[in-house]
Amino acid sequence: MKLGLIGIVATLVLAAAAIAAVTLVYRSSGATSPDNGSFRGTVEPPGLTMPRFDLRDQHGRRVSPEDLRGKVVVLTFLDSKCREACPIIAGEITAAWRLLTPREHAQSAAVAISTNPRDDTPASVRAFLKSHRASRTIRYLVGPLPVMRGVWHRFLMLSSYESGNAATHSDPVRVYSRDLVWLETEHVGVDLSPQNLAHDIRLALNRRS
């Protein structure tokens, strides 16, 4: 089990390093886009799209990327038992939503993908969202463990189920365009704030495909 976990972590670290290297090469090349330097998070290389998934939210409704197409999507990864980054992320997203207009709300969506379906029972998810006043803001997506393993792999992220610790998992906050292109990423303690996130949602809403 330990050797398997080490292999998973090593693979994810290498994948993250590869993405970082692509980003560095892209920036070093002098390539620019209309959004470069405008987003307050880390701008991603062009052409990276949202991986596929088919999960259910806290209300039992199915959600897939195609259901989100046409909206700017804020996507993150949470564990309802996490007491470190997860409460901060939920709070920052909820606070950012308060800065948006009703029209911007209608054109945006916030989703969180579970990092441990064994922790994230319907009752636990509802309690977590309620405690952080995020019940009406975040759609918390969960599926069976075999399905979640595939989702984590496609997103190149470490789950708390795999780490064995509710607080140890990938926790970026990604922003995707209306056509599901990954635009930028914000991180807790670095550049994630309600003001930055609201700014970047608006920038994405005004972005031409």
The structure's pTM equals: 0.81
Distance CA 158, CA 66 (A): 24
In the chain, where are the structural domains located? 33-205
pLDDT tens-digit map of 48-63:
999 999 999 999 999 9
Indicate the Cα dihedral angle 17, 22, 25, 31, nearest 10°: -150
pLDDT for residue 99 is more than 50? yes
Decide yes or no: CATH 3.40.30.10 for domain 33-205.
Answer: yes
Pure H helices in the chain = 2-28, 65-68, 85-98, 102-106, 122-131, 145-155, 160-163, 194-205
